[in-house]
Amino acid sequence: MANSSCSQLALVTGITGQDGYYLASHLANLGYQVVGTSRSNDSNPRLEKLIEGKSLVLEKLDLLDVNAVQRVLNKYKPRTIFHLAGQSSVGMSFEDPEGTFSSIVTTTRNLLDASLQQSSGLRIFIAGSSEIFGINQKETVTCSTPTNPQNPYGTAKADAFHLVRESRKIHGIYACTGVLFSHESPLRPQHFVSQKIIRGACAIAKGKQDKLHLGNLSTKRDWGWAPEYVKAMEKMLTLEEPRDFILATGKLNRLEAFVAQAFAVVGLDWQKHVVIDEQLFRPNDGSHPLADTKDATQYLGWTATTTMTGVVKNMVDACQSHVHH
Ligand code: NDP
């Protein structure tokens, strides 16, 4: 695959993550050749299984090293880049703000800078986040809503979002941000509250534990289904002009409703098992805003069809049948 310029060659950074897996699988099914990058060479059975029979290769890459990024772009000459890599947890961003910043902003800058040396047809998708809007906004947000992040992760994502817009204006690069609201799957790591709730409810239903300790249940989130979101990412790079999009279901639910639903699916009353633990409250926590999803529907023909109850059901089903890919 190396050294060939193929109109269908896509580079996916962060392929070992949740979205990386679903996007690589989706792109391969659409006939793309996929080069996925990771910081490590560690074996990854889930991806190795996916590679079987698919046009997919893995490449070790440190995205903080602009020369290494340049080398990989020269080697594969991708026509599309999907930048998904980066520290992706708000909670962890308080513990490592600097590492979070560089993994999101420096890697984005390196990809944009390196892409200037490539052919003009290159198109780049950057994974953004609803955390750029901050919390407790009264108004529905669009891509024109001013950013107001409230944690180190959101600040880094906001910087990357502005960097992409700047590169588009100054250099005319085809680059765009998908402002992603929460999207889940069985591949979500355990340190995300969604997966903690699902695994907790399943373990309690099996009699392996009795209590689940959680933080603030009154915050609202917009939860979607990850395999649907990667389809919108691919569609974004097929538009004639680059454009940022909000990718969300457009429906908000309290975390309490997510918990209640998870326990209901396994046949339990959540109030008998959940313990509210103030030590688990996060600084500057609050509700996410309501997302305006009209543009994605109008320009991409994309709508998130699985909303919170469906997401929970799918995750519980996978948990109970041990399907973690
Ligand atoms: P994951 O955390 O599952 O995967 C991200 C990948 O990035 C990891 O597999 C890892 O790959 C790489 N990575 C992790 N930390 C670093 C770091 N410090 N420096 C460089 N690379 C790192 O994320 P998702 O798949 O869930 O999300 C994909 C993207 O979408 C991320 O940018 C995330 O911030 C964003 N996003 C996701 C949302 C969601 O709900 N899932 C919501 C909003 C935004 P490796 O270790 O192999 O290098």
Give tens-digit pLDDT for 138-154. 899 999 999 999 999 99
**pLDDT score, position 12:** 98
The whole-angstrom separation of Cα 104 and Cα 226 is 20
If you measure from the C-alpha of residue 100 to the centroid of ligand 1, how many angstroms do you get, rounded to a whole number?
10
Locate the ligand 1 atom nearest the alpha carbon of residue 42 and give its number: 47
**pLDDT score, position 324:** 52
Please indicate whether residue 93, judged by its CB atom, sits closer than 6 Å to ligand 1: no
User: Confidence band (pLDDT; 50, 70, 90) for 9?
Assistant: very high
The CA–CA distances, whole Å, from 164 to 68, 167, 175 equal 21, 5, 6
Please give the helix or strand (H or E) that residue 148 lies within, else none.
none
**What average pLDDT score do residues 202-227 get?**
96
If you measure from the C-alpha of residue 273 to the centroid of ligand 1, how many angstroms do you get, rounded to a whole number?
31
Please indicate whether residue 89, judged by its CB atom, sits closer than 6 Å to ligand 1: no
* 129 carries an active-site annotation: yes
In the set 153, 167, 174, 194, the catalytic residue is 153
The whole-angstrom separation of Cα 226 and Cα 239 is 21
Task: Say yes or no to pLDDT of 26 above 90.
Answer: yes
Please indicate whether residue 19, judged by its CB atom, sits closer than 6 Å to ligand 1: yes
Please indicate whether residue 186, judged by its CB atom, sits closer than 6 Å to ligand 1: no
Residue type, 55: S
Q: Return mean pLDDT, the chain.
A: 94
Locate the ligand 1 atom nearest the alpha carbon of residue 131 and give its number: 43
User: Confidence band (pLDDT; 50, 70, 90) for 230?
Assistant: very high
Please give the helix or strand (H or E) that residue 39 lies within, else none.
none
Q: What's the token pair of residue 262?
A: 């998870």
* 234 carries an active-site annotation: no
HSE-up of residue 234 (Cα within 13 Å, Cβ side): 22
The CA–CA distances, whole Å, from 323 to 25, 47, 185, 274, 315 equal 17, 15, 11, 25, 9
Q: What's the token pair of residue 256?
A: 């309490």
If you measure from the C-alpha of residue 55 to the centroid of ligand 1, how many angstroms do you get, rounded to a whole number?
23
**pLDDT score, position 120:** 79
Task: Say yes or no to pLDDT of 285 above 50.
Answer: yes
**Angle formed at CA 227 by CA 189 and CA 23, multiple of 5 degrees:** 90
pLDDT in tens, 243-259: 999 999 999 999 999 99
pLDDT in tens, 70-129: 999 999 999 999 999 999 999 999 999 999 999 999 999 999 999 999 987 999 999 999
State CA 259 to chain mean position distance: 22
**What average pLDDT score do residues 51-63 get?**
91
pLDDT in tens, 171-198: 999 999 999 999 999 999 999 999 999 9
**Angle formed at CA 143 by CA 137 and CA 144, multiple of 5 degrees:** 80
Task: Say yes or no to pLDDT of 322 above 90.
Answer: no
HSE-up of residue 8 (Cα within 13 Å, Cβ side): 11
Locate the ligand 1 atom nearest the alpha carbon of residue 88 and give its number: 34
CB 260, CB 270: distance < 8 Å: yes
Task: Say yes or no to pLDDT of 1 above 80.
Answer: no
* 131 carries an active-site annotation: yes
Q: Which residues pair with 11 in a beta bridge?
A: 35, 81
If you measure from the C-alpha of residue 57 to the centroid of ligand 1, how many angstroms do you get, rounded to a whole number?
19
* Nearest alpha-carbon partner for 200 in 280, 140, 146: 280
